């Protein structure tokens, strides 16, 4: 569940969404709110979903990550400037593959690759993307970057202004 929208993953690997759609967070190509679930077009083979604050993520079986919705903190990982470049349909997160786990925070996103490394993008206002002090705080991370010092990670959880990692040990 996101801030005002909900995602559902069906057993056939398709994604469905409903709720508020002001920024395209339902991924149906419109900005129309939906009270009944609508299928997110173009997504198949999805194994995990995550809803952030007005944006959404999907992880496909091939290890690629897809994002759509609001891009005010570059949380879509496209490398494009923030709003008004919201994405109404899913688009692949730039330069990120081999992913096994995703998490959508309020304004930043995290991914764990199959090698156990953690990658982050979006807001870094309070260092939630893991790039402080070597990466300037209050600067968005427009495309995924590896978080230094984290290895053998199984899962991550992105909050509002913080992140957590669960290591395999």
pTM of the model: 0.94
In terms of Cβ atoms closer than 10 Å to its own Cβ (0-12, 13-18, 19+), residue 128 is buried
Mean pLDDT of 5-9: 98
Around Cβ 21, how many Cβ atoms within 10 Å?
22
109 within 8 A of 67, measured Cβ to Cβ: yes
In DSSP terms, 60 is beta-bridged to: 46
78-131 pLDDT tens trace? 987 665 689 999 999 999 999 999 999 999 999 999 999 999 999 988 889 888
Contacts of 128 (CB under 8 A, 6+ apart): 105, 107, 108, 120, 158, 159, 160, 161, 162, 163
Query: For residue 154, what is the DSSP state?
Result: E
Contact between 77 and 68 under an 8 Å Cβ cutoff? The reply is: no
| pLDDT, tens digit, 9 for 90 and up, residues 73-82 | 999 999 876 6
């Amino acid at each position: 569940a996101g801030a005002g929208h909900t995602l559902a993953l069906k057993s056939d690997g398709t994604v469905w969404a409903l709720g508020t759609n002001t920024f395209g967070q339902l991924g149906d190509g419109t900005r129309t709110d939906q009270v009944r679930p609508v299928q997110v077009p173009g997504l198949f083979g999805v194994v995990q979903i995550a809803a952030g604050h007005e944006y959404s993520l999907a992880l496909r079986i091939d290890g690629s990550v897809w994002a759509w919705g609001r891009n005010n903190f570059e949380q879509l990982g496209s490398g494009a400037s923030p709003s008004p470049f919201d994405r109404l349909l899913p688009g692949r997160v730039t330069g990120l593959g081999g992913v096994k786990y995703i998490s959508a925070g309020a304004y930043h996103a995290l991914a764990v690759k199959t090698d156990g490394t953690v990658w982050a993008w979006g807001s870094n206002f309070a260092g939630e993307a893991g790039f402080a002090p070597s990466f300037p705080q209050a600067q968005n991370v427009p495309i995924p970057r590896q978080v230094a010092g984290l290895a053998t990670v199984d899962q991550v959880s992105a909050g509002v202004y913080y992140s957590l990692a669960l290591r395999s040990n």
